[in-house]
Amino acid sequence: LVFANTGSLGAAIAVMVVFSLFVQAAEGSTFGIVPYVDPNSTGSIVGIVGSGGNFGAVCFGLGFRNLPTYKDAFVVMGCVIF
C-alpha cells in the first residue's frame, strides 16, 4: 500500500528495495524447510512450492491487465500480500 501511494520515483524505489529484502528472506525460509517436509519426495515438494510463485505472478499479471489503473493493481497486490 505504501508503494502504490508514493509520490516520487526515488521513494518508490526505496520502498521497493526494503520490501524486496523482506520478500527474499521469506522465500529463503520457505525453501529452507522443503527438505525437511518429506526427505524422500524433495523434488515433488520443490515443484509444488515453486509453482505457487508462478501462480501468484500470473494472478498479479492479470490484475495489471484487467484493473482500470496500475495504482489499483498495486493496491490490490498490497492488500493480498499484507
Nearest to 13 by CA among 28, 22, 2: 2
pLDDT digits (tens, 9 = 90+) for 1-54: 777 788 888 888 998 899 899 988 888 887 888 888 888 988 888 888 888 888
Taking phi over 0 as left and psi of -120 to 50 as alpha, with beta for the rest, 29 belongs to alpha
pLDDT at position 17 is 92
